[in-house]
Amino acid sequence: MIGTVRATSRNVKRWQNGDMCLRWTPAGMLEAEQQFRRIIGYGDLAKLAVAVERDLIAHHNDFHTPTKEDTRITVTV
């Protein structure tokens, strides 16, 4: 991805200000996105994150006595 962004920004002949960098960097990232491969099982990543958080909370409760701060731990989706 970095190489594609560099190649895209190389097309700029005269940098005027930081706004140009903010425009060309995302343009290069969009160009690089076309070369990305989809990860097998990407749809289940949210389920994995929830399972890992639940496991961490379960192990956290096994080793520590609950405090007021521990009650604020929430599982996000």
User: What's the angle, vertex CA 37, arms to CA 48 and CA 33, rounded to 5?
Assistant: 110
Q: Mean pLDDT check: name the lowest of 28-32, 33-37, 45-49, 70-74.
A: 70-74
Is the pTM value of this prediction over 0.75? no
**C-beta separation of 16 from 35 below 8 A:** no
Domain ranges of the chain: 2-33, 42-72
Q: Mind listing the pLDDT tens digit for each residue in 1-12?
A: 778 877 877 777
> What does the pLDDT read at residue 21?
77
Give yes or no for residue 19 having a pLDDT over 60.
yes
Neighbours of 52 (CB within 10 A): 11
Q: Mean pLDDT check: name the lowest of 3-7, 20-24, 58-62.
A: 58-62
Angle formed by the axes of helices 18-33 and 2-9, to 10°?
130
